[in-house]
Amino acid sequence: MKVVEILDIMGSDLTVVNAARVSFAGESEEFGSRDKKLIRYLAAHGHWTPFAHVQLQFRIKAPLFVARQLHKSSVGLAVNEVSRRYVDFTPEFHAPEAWRKRAPDKKQGSLLETFEGGQEERFDEKYWDLMTRCKTIYENMIASGVAPEQARMVLPQSMMTEWYWTGSLAAFARVVSQRISEDAQYECRVIAEKIDQILVNREEISYSWSCLTRRV
């Protein structure tokens, strides 16, 4: 089961406008219509640095292949992940919603079109058979005293992992804009959409986020 949970927010829409106004030795004490106009201007003209003064921290749980894809977009973000070098608890595996067909364009990756009936069931059967075997081999190696840093080699990319993801509002806006698009991998898009929904509903930063994601 994928998890996207916000743990901490440092700053607000007012933080953004005051970071911008310091250039002119100005400051707002309350967030108002004049400040909204400034935030719209900053977002529309690519002035990202004021948005970098708001910091966010998330806890994410997702398949390993999704984590690796998302971490490619982690410019300006700090990542601390569960390490299978140190922990040896029973692995959990991603359950695909469906098996998508390969897209003719390699850049796209997959189509929305899925397999049906018997084919889907056969893929599921083979997939879960392999996951069970990987889990059994891993647990037997751990029970036999093999170091977790080596036993983890038998675990597949569909294994669930968990990490803390911390960075600025500006950095998360870049990640979401890249991964929420239609040509992004579906599983990554799900994470990006969850981050987006969390932030657009957080009153303290909702206006900045809405401007950065072109809602305003």
Active-site pick, 133, 179, 189, 202 = 179
End-to-end CA distance of the chain: 33
Distance CA 202, CA 212 (A): 14
Can you read off the two tokens belonging to residue 1?
A: 């089961």
Contacts of 2 (CB under 8 A, 6+ apart): 61, 62, 66, 190, 191, 194
Question: Residue type at 43?
Answer: A
Active site residue 179: yes
Overall residue count recorded for the chain in this entry? 216
Residue numbers annotated as active site: 179
